[in-house]
Amino acid sequence: MIKNKFIKLFFKATIGISLFLWIAYTLYNQIIHQPNLQNTIHDLFVEWNTSKILFLSVVFLLMIFNWTIEAQKWRLLLVGTEKFSLWKSLQSVLTGVAVSVITPNRIGEYMGRILYLRNVHKIQGITVTIIGSFAQLIITGFLGLIGVAYYILNVQNFSWLTILFIASLLFFTFLTYLFFNLHKLLDWTKGIKFFRKLRIYLEIVKRFNQRQLIKILLISTGRYLVYTLQFILLLKFFLVDINNVILLCTVWLIFWIMAILPTIAIAEIGIRGETALFFLAPLSTNHLGIVSSTFMLWFINLIIPSLIGCLFVYKMKLYKDE
């Protein structure tokens, strides 16, 4: 049994490392052939001015604002389950981020967050976390649809992008319907034996009325717009000069692709860089700036918060069985 687990872990690690190396090599080849590479490197990393320092400072402040918004959404989701202060909610969220970086598609965020809940509320915590993730995915999908449509009409039209648009529209419609009819989802699980045992914990979805769900969506929209602004500021910081409207819609498209693309933690930054470069390269020859912006966005919004979250994992108190 232990041997099989080790083999699976080794197999996943090998795939992840191989994928990362292959993507890194691909990115390197695209960057190294960029025109005026030496001048670009000098402009990006040597020439600093007040404007660039201000841009970077704002991005870091927005990171704090971003996770504070998420902490407030977590508090709203937990109303009626446990009462959290904003500070405790922020600790819980950052703990989730710390756990998420070592899991595929960051699914470990659910487990990290519920460590702050009492044992009797942990399954309910997973349920409301999924509701919050649904809300964030709906907003990402809606604005992603706008991004896909704009890119097809104004930049490039790949046949697979049209298929993506249709599939995304159907997925977005289904997810939105599901989000506003959570009680129906609960009714569908009546006939499934596994969910019968968990029904007492899943009943929490009935607690959310339409007004609360809309409020969760609005908070998710705020967080998404903050994240969008961060990426645009970083692209400007790294001298990626693209028309603002085209850039905004393309960023929404990139975020949607990243949301639906399965990733392995070790290869995630490479996949993000390759995705951003694929869609932004036709709009700018500054490939190094595009990749650098993607890396910085990932580092500022995920790595730094996860390191902070590790401190809260250390401080956290585990509840005895209840």
Q: What is the chain's alpha carbon radius of gyration, rounded to the nearest angstrom?
A: 21
Average pLDDT of span 219-234: 94
**255: nearest Cα among 160, 143, 150:** 143
Q: What is the pLDDT of residue 298?
A: 84
| Cβ atoms of 94 and 237 closer than 8 Å | no
| Cβ atoms of 266 and 13 closer than 8 Å | yes
**Close Cβ partners of 92 (under 8 Å, ≥ 6 residues apart):** 71, 74, 84, 112, 113, 115, 116, 312
| CB environment 62-98: b (16+ within 10 A), e (fewer) | bbebbbbbbbbbbbbbbeebbebeeebbbbbbbbbbb
**41: nearest Cα among 283, 298, 286, 280:** 286
Q: What is the pLDDT of residue 208?
A: 79
Q: How far apart (Å, rounded) are the C-alpha atoms in residues 200 and 103?
A: 28
- The residue ranking higher by pLDDT, 184 or 32, is 184
Average pLDDT of span 207-229: 90
Most confident of the ranges 238-242, 243-247, 283-287: 243-247
| Cβ atoms of 238 and 293 closer than 8 Å | yes
66 phi, psi to nearest 5 deg: -55, -50
Q: Which of 116-125, 245-254, 276-285 has the lowest mean pLDDT?
A: 116-125
Q: Render pLDDT for 288-317 as a digit per residue (tens, 0 to 9).
A: 888 888 888 888 888 788 888 777 765 555
319 phi, psi to nearest 5 deg: -85, 145
**77: nearest Cα among 139, 119, 121, 115:** 121
- The residue ranking higher by pLDDT, 189 or 127, is 127
Residue 32 pLDDT > 70: no
Average pLDDT of span 35-41: 52
Q: What is the pLDDT of residue 19?
A: 45
Q: How far apart (Å, rounded) are the C-alpha atoms in residues 293 and 298?
A: 9
Residue 174 pLDDT > 60: yes
Q: How far apart (Å, rounded) are the C-alpha atoms in residues 255 and 261?
A: 10
Which residue, chain included where needed, has tokens 């949607």? Answer: 256
Percentage of residues in the chain having pLDDT higher than 90: 22
Helix H, strand E, coil C: the string for the chain is: CHHHHHHHHHHHHHHHHHHHHHHHHHHHHHHHCCCCHHHHHHHHHCCCCHHHHHHHHHHHHHHHHHHHHHHHHHHHHCCCCCCCCHHHHHHHHHHHHHHHCCCHHHCCHHHHHHCCCCHHHHHHHHHHHHHHHHHHHHHHHHHHHHHHHHHHHHCCCCHHHHHHHHHHHHHHHHHHHHHCCHHHHHHHHHHCHHHHHHHHHHHHHHHCCHHHHHHHHHHHHHHHHHHHHHHHHHHHHCCCCCCHHHHHHHHHHHHHHHHHCCCCHHHHHHHHHHHHHHHHCCCCCCHHHHHHHHHHHHHHHHHHHHHHHHHHHHHCCCCCCC
Q: What is the pLDDT of residue 27?
A: 47
Instruction: Read off the pLDDT band of 149 (50, 70, 90).
Output: very high
Q: What is the pLDDT of residue 228?
A: 95
**Close Cβ partners of 16 (under 8 Å, ≥ 6 residues apart):** 264, 265, 266, 267
Residue 212 pLDDT > 80: yes
